[in-house]
Amino acid sequence: MVTRNQAPPGERTVPVAQRADVAMARQQAQKLARALGFGSRRVAEIAIVVSELASNIVKYGVRGEITVRAGDPPEAELVVVARDVGPPIHDLDLALQDGFDDHGPIDPAVLARRGGLGTGLGAMVRLASRFAVEQSAEGKAITVSFVR
């Protein structure tokens, strides 16, 4: 039986509130992916997605966490769940387009200040095997999975 304070074997949760937490979340995901037998290219893709998820929590959320765990069957899938307390994604279809946020096209000056390309959510969809977003009044959860 798993208590509230214990994670199941193979599950890791990293609180995300500042930029340094992005690296910790990425490292935990890479470590578990390697343990599950993912190849180096897939581990690199997982690292990109987890970095983007954690960076988005730092940029747009109040606080959050990244959980990585083995999927079902555990030897063939890695699941990443990014939860945050923060504003909802107003228009997910728009936000998934490169160069757009959830309100429309992103001004290049804004992109330069944010230090990104405006391709994050779209890249997640392209790299992950599955992508889902759940939103509520308390925040949102983005779940991505990677099949080996």
Per-residue pLDDT of the chain (148 residues; tens, 9 = 90+): 334 445 555 799 999 999 999 999 999 999 999 999 999 999 999 999 999 999 989 988 889 999 999 988 767 899 999 999 988 888 888 888 877 777 777 777 776 676 666 667 888 999 999 999 999 888 999 999 999 8
Q: For the chain, what is the total number of helices (H) and then of strands (E)?
A: 5, 7
**Domain range annotation of the chain:** 12-84+119-147
Q: Specify the pTM.
A: 0.84
Q: Residue 8's pLDDT is what?
A: 55
3-state secondary structure of 25: helix
Residue 73: asked if its preceding bond is cis (omega within 30°), the reply is yes
From 42, 45, 130, 114, select the one nearest 81 (Cα to Cα): 130
What region does 4 belong to: left with phi over 0, alpha with psi -120 to 50, or beta?
alpha
Q: How far apart are CA 65 and CA 14, in angstroms?
A: 5
Q: How far apart are CA 47 and CA 148, in angstroms?
A: 14
Q: Residue 3's pLDDT is what?
A: 40
Task: Just give the CATH number of 12-84+119-147.
Answer: 3.30.565.10
